[in-house]
Amino acid sequence: MDPMERSKKAVAEHAANFVKEGMVVGLGSGSTANWMIKRLGERVQEGLNIKGIPSSFKSERLAAECGIPLTDFSSVDKIDIAIDGADEVDSDLQLLKGGGGSLVREKIVDGEAEQLIIIVDETKIVTRLGEFPLPIEVTPFGWELTAENISNLGGKPKLRHLDGEIFVTNNDNYILDCKFPGIQKPAELHASLKLLTGVVETGLFINMADQIIIAKQDGIEILTK
């Protein structure tokens, strides 16, 4: 296993220890969250009783393969803990997410959790968000107009493609990956973007994370709100 994967696995397994008997667990998405789902699957096989709410079709499939019992918002009204990855984290614990295209479901699940733990490797820690193009989920209808409106706010939107086709989210929407020249005020940018009619959600997760678990070369560092 390469060192990066080993780091992701280490933080994911550390975070999985925060899950306790009887909890409803928000299952994040992405390669780091996948390690956490696998570890929880092992703990379930060892007798841990939990229920998971996945934040993407991929996480749902993996969790089912790992034997984690799943539930949804028609059966539960609170999530005890959510564990998720991120594309960037700043020193105020603000997050940029959506590299995998699951930002809407992630925001719903992560936002409902009493405790949100983010697991990343140290390359994701930044002084200012925005080096990674900000994913924004938009309605397919009129996406060109929405892109123009995002440009007027200073972004450079690019319609996401995968394997030569337009990328379609789990909610049948499109993603615009938007390069902003350094996001100075994430909360304000998020609020401005949300006022655009075609914007479904942005990848800025403001004041949501309670704890960041960072994989470093020499061990694990934890940032707490």
Ligand X SMILES: O=C(CO)[C@H](O)[C@H](O)COP(=O)(O)O
Residues of the binding site: 29-32, 84-87, 97-100, 124
Pair 194, 202: CB distance under 8 Å: yes
**Which of the ranges 41-49, 66-74, 97-105, 139-147 carries the binding residues for ligand X, by CB under 6 A?**
97-105
Rounded CA-CA distance 97/2 in Å is 24
Does 87 sit near ligand X (CB under 6 A)? yes
Q: Which of 103, 126, 178, 189 binds ligand X (CB under 6 A)?
A: 103
Q: Minimum distance between the CB of residue 208 and ligand X, rounded to whole angstroms?
A: 12
**Closest CB to ligand X among residues 30, 133:** 30
Distances in Å between the Cα of 110 and the Cα atoms of 78, 106, 130, 205 are: 11, 6, 21, 9
**Closest CB to ligand X among residues 55, 149:** 55
Residues marked active site are found at 106
H-state helical runs in the chain: 3-16, 31-45, 57-65, 103-112, 143-152, 186-194
Residue 70's DSSP bridge partners are 52
**Closest CB to ligand X among residues 80, 177:** 177
Which residues contribute to the annotated binding site for substrate?
A: 29-32, 84-87, 97-100, 124
Pair 136, 176: CB distance under 8 Å: yes
Residue nearest to ligand X (CB): 30
Pairing between β-strand 113-121 and β-strand 79-84 as defined by DSSP bridges: parallel
Amino acid at 16: A
Q: Which of 9, 11, 32, 134 binds ligand X (CB under 6 A)?
A: 32
Positions in the binding site for ligand X (CB under 6 A): 28-33, 84-87, 97-103, 106
